[in-house]
Amino acid sequence: MPFAQSLLESLGRDLPYLYGPLFLVFAATLMIWPGDLLVGRTNKRAWSYVAFLVLAAGGAMALYAPLGQGFSGMFRVDGLTKGFQFLSVLAGLITIVLSQPQLNALREQTVEYYALILFSTAGMMLLVGATDLVSMYFSLELMALCIYVLVAYLRHQERSVEAGMKYFMLGAFSSGILLYGISLLFAATGGLTTNLAELNEKLALATPNHTLLVFAGVLMVLVGFAFKVAAVPFHMWSPDAYEGAPTPITAFMSMAPKAAALGAFVRVFGTGFHGVSGEWMLPISFLAGASMVLGNVAALRQQSLKRLLAYSSIAHVGYMLLGVMSADAQAGGQAIWLYMLTYLLMQSGAFAILIHLQGKGEGERIDDFRGLARRRPVLAFAMLVCLLSLAGIPPLVGFFSKFYLFKLAIEQGHITLTVLALLTSAVAAFYYLNVVATMYFKEAPEGELKPMGSGLALILTVTCALILVGTLFGPKLLDWTAKITLG
């Protein structure tokens, strides 16, 4: 049986690259069946601990995976892969902790919730290592399909179901466009390959009458990615989905899939389409500019903090697209990774406070923060740190990650866009400070606030401490990032 033998050999060689995500998939499956049979209806909370441990173990496996390339060039483990895998796992772990207060309050603890987070995280871990359009597409779908369900998870709440429906419809639409784009690129190579490295060589050589085919394909792939990272004008799902989804899932969406999609974005455009970068540079710069302007301006008038964070995350994506536009994909990936890491810290801190104030998940208005400085000075201070860092005010870490990104963009010659980014980040300071002003300068409403749960408090403490400590070492961050992402 020479065939079976060679199959086994190659599996033995390649599987170690995938131990992390595969472990998550198997563990999640076992949790649903038969695991769930063994756990009583009232003890579903226990699954949160199991899921947390499983995710941590999967993350550790991915972190210790060997460096290299396998599965006929479909999957590659390098520093960048591990870096973005780390971000996705970290976001997943944070989400599991953030989910506890609301799921307990609403009595909605189920095994499926955690299994979906694990599946989705596995999808992200595969996505950031994918070096072939086929593996990229399927990991993207694995990630997205789970999140559609998670958005609609609170099926008794009208908002949640509506958000899930919108996200799903538009997601299916964009996924169709993405796949059609991939098929066009496949056609442009004469039906030979979808591997990114080979595509890069083939596309650059494409004959002139293939140019439209190549461009249409690249453009459609761009649309698919722009949708996933919510760049203008493919962003319209995100404010609605963010608002309607259960708040921990909103936090999850704003961190994990965004990190993974951006990681894949850099890899696909920086390596696969590098040779035809002349074709997509201008469209991406329009997307980036439009995202910075629209995201920040629209955030000005938001009353709901979740919507505000949704719009501001559109703006942050606009900044990160500057990294995608970098001709040096490695440097671009590093800058995005660092930005995403700091963004993740600030977002999870802000969401921890939001979730604490929300209770059962109804109120989320900026007005709910009135007088927080008087009721809970430490909480307000933590929120202040997160918001100021989000606004990129020096010397907090948010400033440094922005600084490196903008510096890279200037070095790459995107002067106009960088100036636009600077101007719009001044606008951003306005709405973040509006929240600060609400906390510090407005009269507190009546009623006592209950003490914060230990999980949320832990996350808040750690993130704020990291933001403040990172401030001291801010300037070293890029060196460390380089060390990490180079493997």
Partner 1 sequence: MPSMNMVLIFSFLLFSLGVVGVLIRRNALIILMCAELMLNAANINLIAFARHSGTVAGQAFALLVMGLAAAEVAIGLAIVVALYRRKNTITVDEIHLLKG
Partner 2 sequence: MQTYLWLIPLLPLLTSALIGLLGKRAGKPVTAVVAVGSVLASFALSLSAYSLMKAAPGFRLELTYFEWMHVGSLSVPMGLVFDPLSCAMALVVSGIGALIHLYSVGYMWKDEGFARYFAYLNLFVFFMLTLVLGSSLPLLFVGWEGVGLCSYLLIGYYFETDYAPAAGLKAFLTNRIGDLGMVAGMMALFAYFGTLTMGDLLTKAGHLSPEVGFGVLTFATLMMFIGATGKSAQLPLYVWLPDAMAGPTPVSALIHAATMVTAGILLVCRLAPLFQLTPITLTVIAWVGAATALFAATIGLCQRDIKKVLAYSTVSQLGYMFLGLGAAGFAAGFFHVFTHAWFKALLFLGAGSVIHAMHHEQDLFKMGGLRKKLPITFWTMLIGTLAIMGFPGFSGFFSKDEILYLAYLKSPVLWLMGVIGACLTSFYMWRLMALAFWGEPRDHHAYDHAHESPLTMTLPLMVLAVGSALAGWWGVPEAFGGHFNVGQFLAPSLTFGQLHGAHGHHEGPAILLAAISTALALGFGAWGFFSYRNGLAIGEARAAKWPTLHRILENKYYVDEGMERFILAPIRWLGQKLWRVVDVIVIDGLGVNLPGALAGLSGDVIATTQTGRVRNYALAMTLGALALLWIFLK
Q: Which is nearer to partner 2, 189 or 471 (CB)?
A: 471
- The rounded distance, in Å, linking the Cα atoms of 179 and 185 is 10
Query: Does 186 contact partner 2 by CB under 8 A?
Result: no
User: Using CB atoms within 10 A of its CB, is residue 77 exposed (0-12), middle (13-18) or buried (19+)?
Assistant: buried
First to last CA, the chain: 38
Residue 304: closest CA among 381, 239, 231: 239
Identified binder of partner 2 from the candidate list 57, 106, 393, 462, rule CB under 8 A: 393
Residue 427: closest CA among 345, 287, 318, 351: 318
As measured in angstroms, the least distance from the Cβ of 143 to partner 1 is: 12
Q: Which is nearer to partner 2, 166 or 267 (CB)?
A: 166
Residue 168: closest CA among 180, 150, 181: 150
* Exposure of 29 in the CB half-sphere (CA atoms within 13 A): 6
Query: Does 108 contact partner 1 by CB under 8 A?
Result: no
Window contacting partner 1 (CB under 8 A); options: 36-44, 172-180, 321-329, 332-340:
172-180
Cβ partners under 8 Å of residue 178, min gap 6: 137, 140, 220, 221, 223, 224, 225, 227
Encode 330-345: b = buried (16+ Cβ within 10 Å), e = exposed: bbbbbbbbbbbbbbbb
Within 10 Å of residue 3's Cβ, how many Cβ atoms?
Answer: 7
Q: Which is nearer to partner 1, 5 or 209 (CB)?
A: 209
- Assess contact for 442 and 366: CB atoms under 8 A: no
- Assess contact for 85 and 103: CB atoms under 8 A: no
As measured in angstroms, the least distance from the Cβ of 189 to partner 2 is: 20
- Assess contact for 230 and 238: CB atoms under 8 A: yes
- The rounded distance, in Å, linking the Cα atoms of 428 and 318 is 13
The listed partner (partner 2, partner 1, none) that binds 234, CB under 5 to 8 Å by sort, is partner 2
Query: Does 164 contact partner 1 by CB under 8 A?
Result: yes
Query: Does 172 contact partner 1 by CB under 8 A?
Result: yes
- The rounded distance, in Å, linking the Cα atoms of 20 and 59 is 6
Give the total residue count for the chain: 487
* Local structure of residue 327 (DSSP, 8 states): S
- The rounded distance, in Å, linking the Cα atoms of 333 and 80 is 7
The listed partner (partner 2, partner 1, none) that binds 13, CB under 5 to 8 Å by sort, is none
Query: Does 300 contact partner 2 by CB under 8 A?
Result: yes
Identified binder of partner 1 from the candidate list 55, 152, 386, 387, rule CB under 8 A: 152
Window contacting partner 1 (CB under 8 A); options: 38-46, 178-186, 276-284, 419-427:
178-186
Query: Does 213 contact partner 1 by CB under 8 A?
Result: yes
- Assess contact for 146 and 29: CB atoms under 8 A: no
Query: Does 158 contact partner 1 by CB under 8 A?
Result: yes
User: Using CB atoms within 10 A of its CB, is residue 149 exposed (0-12), middle (13-18) or buried (19+)?
Assistant: middle
- The rounded distance, in Å, linking the Cα atoms of 403 and 392 is 9
- Assess contact for 481 and 403: CB atoms under 8 A: no
Window contacting partner 1 (CB under 8 A); options: 150-158, 251-259, 313-321, 329-337:
150-158
Query: Does 194 contact partner 1 by CB under 8 A?
Result: yes
As measured in angstroms, the least distance from the Cβ of 27 to partner 2 is: 35
As measured in angstroms, the least distance from the Cβ of 445 to partner 1 is: 24
CA dihedral 291, 296, 298, 300 (to 10 degrees): 180
Identified binder of partner 2 from the candidate list 46, 204, 437, 486, rule CB under 8 A: 437
The listed partner (partner 1, partner 2, none) that binds 269, CB under 5 to 8 Å by sort, is none
Q: Which is nearer to partner 1, 163 or 388 (CB)?
A: 163
Identified binder of partner 1 from the candidate list 31, 55, 96, 163, rule CB under 8 A: 163
Within 10 Å of residue 133's Cβ, how many Cβ atoms?
Answer: 25
Query: Does 243 contact partner 1 by CB under 8 A?
Result: yes
The listed partner (partner 1, partner 2, none) that binds 429, CB under 5 to 8 Å by sort, is partner 2
The listed partner (partner 1, partner 2, none) that binds 85, CB under 5 to 8 Å by sort, is none
Query: Does 182 contact partner 1 by CB under 8 A?
Result: yes
* The amino acid at 227: F
Tell me which residues in 289-348 interact with partner 1 (CB under 8 A): 302, 307
Tell me which residues touch partner 1 (CB under 8 A).
134, 138, 141, 145, 148-149, 152, 155-156, 158-159, 161-166, 168-169, 172-173, 175-177, 179-180, 182-184, 186-187, 190-194, 213, 239-240, 243-244, 302, 307
Tell me which residues touch partner 2 (CB under 8 A).
165-166, 169-170, 173-174, 177, 215-216, 219-220, 222-223, 227, 232-234, 236-237, 239-240, 279, 282-283, 286-287, 294, 297-302, 377-378, 381, 388, 393-395, 404, 407, 422, 426-427, 429-430, 433, 437, 440-443, 474-476, 478-479
